[in-house]
Chain A
Amino acid sequence: MEVRPSDSIIDLRRVCKTFAKPSGEPLAVLTDIDVSLRDGEILGLLGRSGSGKSTLLRIAGGLIKPTAGDVLYRGTPLAGPSEGIAIVFQTFALYPWLTVTENVEAGLDALRLTRAEARRRALVAIDLIGLDGFQSAYPRELSGGMRQRVGFARAIVANPIALLMDEPFSSLDVLTAETLRTDFLDLWTGHHLPTKSVLMVTHNIEEAVLMCDRVLILSSNPGRIAAEIPVALAHPRDRLDALFHDIVDQIYSTLTSRSLESLRAHAQASGGTALSLPRVSVSRIIGLVERLSAAPYAGHAELAQIASALVLEVDDLLPVAEALHILAFAELSAGALKLTAAGHVFAEGSTDERKRMFREHLLRFVPLAAHIHRVLDERDGHRAPHVRFETELEDHLTRRDSERTLRVVTDWARYAELFDYDVRSRRFGFTAVSE
């Protein structure tokens, strides 16, 4: 389909966003983003946490100013929140002290309507979104699903042209989210909403394929658009449809190849010590290894398969898969995870055997763990301050990443009984052997 420029509602052109790190140097969150939200579409932004997708949505909504680049709303530059753009928040962001109706009316504050008119429009929105009967309830009396309905009603009450949704279903349980998604899609496909286009941030791949006409995949650190995947399926969509499944797989393999690339890039820099480790606990690693080795996977599974079986979202599953890959218990390739020989042995092992293997793999495949171990070995008294490794890491990683990486390596090393960390003195030391 040929798209003319006039068809777009919001345009982001070469948008960059940097935040200042505590040390003062800039940290790039988004670089060189070009996005057009077209008339009549639901556009999905998919990425892992830390990819800056929520920041991107806030830039499109005028809540955050980009460091560089332009944001156009219907062809004119956007300066701050504007009439015609409304946001649905992940956390609902309802005022607990206002009733449902009053919360919805708050969306009209800027319009200078009379009380009666504001009330009338609020009731229309409440009716449309299926909140009838709850008008005088307070948010704390409502279930999560009903609360997010209030969030939707408040967003559409001012008849926005563009609706921006920041992970609108991710704080809800699976069933509630499904109902709300279906209801929203009914309103959307039935053209009951005044809204012309929707921009939706999500980290749920199935949700993106279920709802969006186009999905943009963001890569992390710094966030940039890694791929654009069109979803040319008619509504209502069927999860069991082969085409649906293909698109989900395609997204998984895009995401995994991205994360493999970044692992490789990290490993090359600094001889590998500055490899940023995913925040994954040992129990999750063991859990996934056991699951993979058991039937029906027998050591090999597609990520999409295992994600739906374990009811895990990408954000939960990919880090664990990455951890297995880093520790060489499994191999991550386009959209699939395969246990290595060591992984199979690990799955069968007793606690002590597992610990021994984990220790060996940690020393061999996680250069940071080996580095800390070596430093402790060389030092008299076998102690080393936390801050030493922190500063070393901060040469290559952001402060947050280096803190997380140290936490993770501590957790893994404690399990492996390789070394220990004392919070009070903020020092690493060898694990005390209790006989």
Chain B
Amino acid sequence: MEHHAEVLTGGIWHQRIPSWRDAAAVVLVVAVLILVGTGARQMVSPFVVAHQPEILLSPTALPFYALRTTIRMLAALAASLIFTFIYATLAAKSRRAEMVLIPLLDVLQSVPILGYLSFTVVFFVSLFPGSVLGPELAAIFAIFTSQAWNMTFSFYQALTTTPHDLDEASRSFRSSGWQRFWRLEVPFAMPGLVWNMMMSMSGGWFFVVASEAISVGDIQYTLPGIGSYVARAIQDRDLSAVGWAIAAMTVVIVTYDQLLFRPLVAWADKFRFEQAAAQSVPRSWVLDLFRRSKLVRFVGRPVGIGLRTAARARLALPPGARRLRRWSPPRRLIDAAWYGSVLALTGYGVWTLVQFAGPTLSWNDLAEASRNGALTLSRVVVLVALATVVWVPIGIGVGLRPKLAEKVQPIAQFLAAFPANLLFPVVVYVIVRFGLTPKIWLSPLMILGTQWYILFNVIAGASAFPSDFREVAASFRIRRWRWWRDVILPGIFPYYVTGAITASGGAWNASIVSEAVSWGPTRLDGSGLGAYIARMTEAGDFPRIALGIAVMSVLVITMNRILWRPLYALAERRTRLD
């Protein structure tokens, strides 16, 4: 992966952030969720969605469902992009905003998305009572939350690392903020942003499938799409319909990749910052077609000119406003006021949580949630370790053979993008059929979709392994165990860490849909924190959902801090020469 660096610098490893900010951010996030969820619940309850569409299991209906699912993805992507531009720009340009926004973002990306789906569903449904728009927006919001954070981090990272000389140059031409944004900052961020968009989309398919058919307590809704199609197939125990859905999803992902991302990556290549010409330039037949087609050029010209004129417009503040801005009270005073309000808000958050949870939750609940959390944690650890043992040697073997890597890499990326929850019914069917123990055999589902991140990152690492290092090893006849220990494993280590982080983060999220599954009337419960949250969601027990989310967030953040971040720092330190 040539854009590997962006993944690595994705904000999780921000060293400057002390952890009391994380605690405050966790409180804020959970409190906001609860406020939004319960507030909305009081507005409309009980609740009925007016027109529930019937989901047909005929394969001929699938193209339409696939289209609906795809449109949801696109809408969420657009929302993520707008959010990224605003949020990251705020965080990068204002020291005070940065102090709050970045830890918040760090926590937001650790909170299990499927966990808080129940809160947001209630909220959106209450915004548009009786309309299908509510659930639609809830689904789009769920996808949005799976995509936005890492895009925002990458954009923020780019904004704070804009090359100093380009920055000075643009200042010396007296470019306005608007001109700088489009001339310098967005282009500089573009390769990382496109790469992160791709990664986001891979994760997004999982959530779009999960968010199309949801029941929270007495609220139930179904949106036409591949996810609800599968949900219906599970209900009807129709294995062939599941097969059709898998086929449809495959077509959708491949098409999406060819029509949207290949052209984007090929186009974004011109924003690469290295001044040297690249050895291999990404290509896309669609982009070539567009660039060569006279018709497209004819239609596109006015659009291009319009965009360029917009980017060149100064849109600077009028001189009067600038003078106003120059007056400001002493810096310390603002800082104190700012810290004060953040503190007050956090305090209010704590108070809300206590108010909300106090009457219903007991220490027993915390103990139960923690016990479940420990179970899921051990599953995640064991599964990541297993995936490592399996995929690292295979990834190295493939990555060191360029011809093979060229063929395997797109497959691994495709598998990472494929929503594993579509495959769950197949596994569940097998478990039910052979009467296997759910507690053990449901576990692999968690890592079914995310193990591929380990594979393709290791392949990328092994392909990027400098050939002179390999030649050194060969000429000094470094072999077997020593070769693994001294040569290749340290070589791919940073890549592996990146993949493993993604895999473990994804596994946590997947636990919510994979620890409790059903096949028709048969229900399998593997217990664990995911199953706990799923059970509480079904029951509409909001305090306990919140508890589950909080415990899971704390576990994820702790794991990031005490395992992944030090590992990442080690990888970075060890592989640097100067």
Residues of A within 8 A of B (CB): 58, 61-63, 80-83, 85-87, 89-93, 95-98, 106-110, 112, 115, 138-141, 147, 158
Contacts and interface: CB of A to CB of B under 8 A. Distances in A.
* A interface, over-half SS: loop
A110 B274 CA distance: 27
Contact of B314 (A63, A91, A112, A138): A112
B169 A93 contact: yes
B174 A83 contact: yes
Interface of B: 163, 165-166, 168-176, 179, 183-184, 187, 190, 270-277, 305, 309, 312, 314
B187 A61 contact: no
21 contacts: A61-B172, A81-B174, A87-B168, A87-B169, A89-B169, A92-B165, A95-B187, A96-B275, A97-B190, A106-B170, A106-B173, A106-B175, A106-B183, A107-B173, A108-B173, A109-B174, A109-B314, A110-B174, A115-B305, A140-B272, A158-B173
B420 to A, nearest CB: 37
Contact of B183 (A85, A109, A138, A140): A109
B166 A95 contact: yes
B324 to A, nearest CB: 17
A62 B168 CA distance: 10
Contacts of A139: 275
B172 A87 contact: yes
Contacts of B270: 96-97, 138
Contacts of B166: 93, 95
Contacts, number: 76
B380 to A, nearest CB: 31
A110 B175 contact: yes
A97 B271 contact: yes
B275 A63 contact: no
A110 B183 contact: no
Contact of A96 (B174, B273, B312): B273
A141 B187 CA distance: 18
A97 B270 CA distance: 5
A55 to B, nearest CB: 12
B192 to A, nearest CB: 14
Nearest to B270: A97
Given A87-B168, A89-B165, A115-B309, A110 B277 contact: no
Contacts of B173: 81, 106-110, 158
A-B pairs, top 6 by smallest CB distance, nearest first, are A93-B165, A93-B169, A110-B174, A97-B187, A91-B165, A97-B271
B171 A63 contact: yes
Nearest to B278: A140
B337 to A, nearest CB: 23
Contacts of A98: 183
Given A81-B174, A97-B270, A110 B309 contact: no
B169 A109 contact: no
A138 B277 CA distance: 10
A141 B277 contact: yes
A100 B179 CA distance: 18
B184 A109 contact: no
Contacts of B169: 87, 89, 93
Contacts of B184: 95
A109 B168 contact: no
A115 B309 CA distance: 8
Given A81-B174, A106-B173, A110-B314, A63 B168 contact: yes
A89 B175 CA distance: 17
Given A96-B275, A107-B173, 11 more contacts: A87-B168, A87-B172, A92-B165, A95-B183, A96-B272, A96-B273, A96-B274, A106-B173, A109-B175, A110-B176, A112-B314
A110 B183 CA distance: 13
Nearest to A118: B312
A12 B273 CA distance: 36
A370 to B, nearest CB: 29
B179 A109 contact: yes
Contacts of B271: 96-97
